[in-house]
Amino acid sequence: MTHDHGWHETTVNGIRVAYLDEGSGPPVVLLHGFPESARTWRHQIEALAAGGYRVIAPDLRGFGNSEHPPAADAYTVLHVVGDLVALLKHLGAGPVAVIGREWGALTAWGLAMMRPDLVRGVVAISAPPQIPRGPVGLAEGTRGMFTDGRRFYLDYLQDVGPADEEFGRDPRASLRGIFHALSHEYEVGDIDRRLVLEPGQGMLDIWPDPGQRPAWMPEDYFETLVESYEKYGFTGSLAFYRNMDRSWELTAAFDDVRLSMPSQLVLGERDVVRSVLDDPQFATGLEQSHPGFQGTVIVPGAGHWAHLEQPKAVTGLLLAFIHDLA
């Protein structure tokens, strides 16, 4: 079923997947993060298609117009990578350059780790690969961060119900708060004020509604997100967070896998991820674990949404990276 300008739906891996397939040439896959959809890549889609590439951009399961499986455990990295492998097979595409942001980036790393035969190169925005593999999953690792009643946001999001209901009461206001609080425009730079909840607080206490969408957010795209969350709620998209530790368990066999294909990490200058990863050994670890790693690029004037906040800069980086894969 065709939607508009290259948008389609198909059933792969047992679920309905909505996706864009536009342009012709070497295939490039774009994978969005939370709380987005494939339309978040509008700037990059146009430029890549015009630049001679076939652009494939799906709504991940639990997001947008793709299916939202009701089972809480149906959102592991194996499920999502499986969707992507099946979609690429359906489309006869591969190997591909894969570009992802946040959850999309973790999916891109997962595809490269599990099916390196399908991947020519990886660009990850706002999410490095989880290396070295820790002794516990990331969510479990955050539970002991505080003993005074405070909670790291990843720990808070593990609870089914509170965040779902909080965000779902007014999706428009919630989305404004999420996009603003993690952008370069947010006034508070202290990581504790953006990612740590005091006792009794909810997510919108630390990500308050600014009353208007960010100026860099396209209005029509924002409205499609509001419509989607009003229809489906936030439970499907939040399930990615709730499967972090299960994904860690299920990927034990891939510990110490070394990725030889070219890869790059892109972070906004004011991305909160930079604070979380404030470790001088981090870059060295990436280079040792991924022989093809080409370094981290910092995008000035951007936060967690670099591809939207600074679309020209990010699009230029992507075009240069993909061109060099030829």
Mean pLDDT of the chain, nearest integer: 92
Residue 188 within a domain: yes
Residue 1 within a domain: no
Q: CB under 8 Å to 78, separation ≥6 — which residues?
A: 247, 250, 251
Domain that residue 279 falls in: 7-325
The reported pLDDT for the residue numbered 73 is 95
Structure confidence by residue, pLDDT tens digits, 234-289: 999 999 999 999 999 999 999 888 899 999 999 999 998 887 666 545 555 677 77
The reported pLDDT for the residue numbered 284 is 59
CA distances (Å), 13 to each of 60, 74, 178, in order?
Answer: 12, 12, 31
Q: How many CA atoms lie within 13 A of 251 on its CB side?
A: 33
Residue 114 within a domain: yes
Residue 2 within a domain: no
Q: CB under 8 Å to 154, separation ≥6 — which residues?
A: 138, 139, 142, 241, 244
What percentage of the chain exceeds 70 in pLDDT? 92
The reported pLDDT for the residue numbered 261 is 95
On the question of pLDDT at 170 being above 90, the answer is yes
Structure confidence by residue, pLDDT tens digits, 25-82: 999 999 999 999 999 999 999 999 999 999 999 999 999 999 999 999 999 999 999 9
Residue 198 within a domain: yes
The reported pLDDT for the residue numbered 142 is 87
Total domains in the fold of the chain: 1
On the question of pLDDT at 326 being above 90, the answer is no
182: CATH = 3.40.50.1820
Asked if 267 and 298 count as a contact pair (C-beta separation under 8 A), the reply is yes
Residue 206 within a domain: yes
Residue 60 within a domain: yes
Residue 212 within a domain: yes
Structure confidence by residue, pLDDT tens digits, 187-229: 655 666 889 999 999 999 999 999 999 999 999 999 999 999 9
**pTM of the predicted model, to two decimals?**
0.95
What percentage of the chain exceeds 90 in pLDDT? 79
The reported pLDDT for the residue numbered 167 is 98
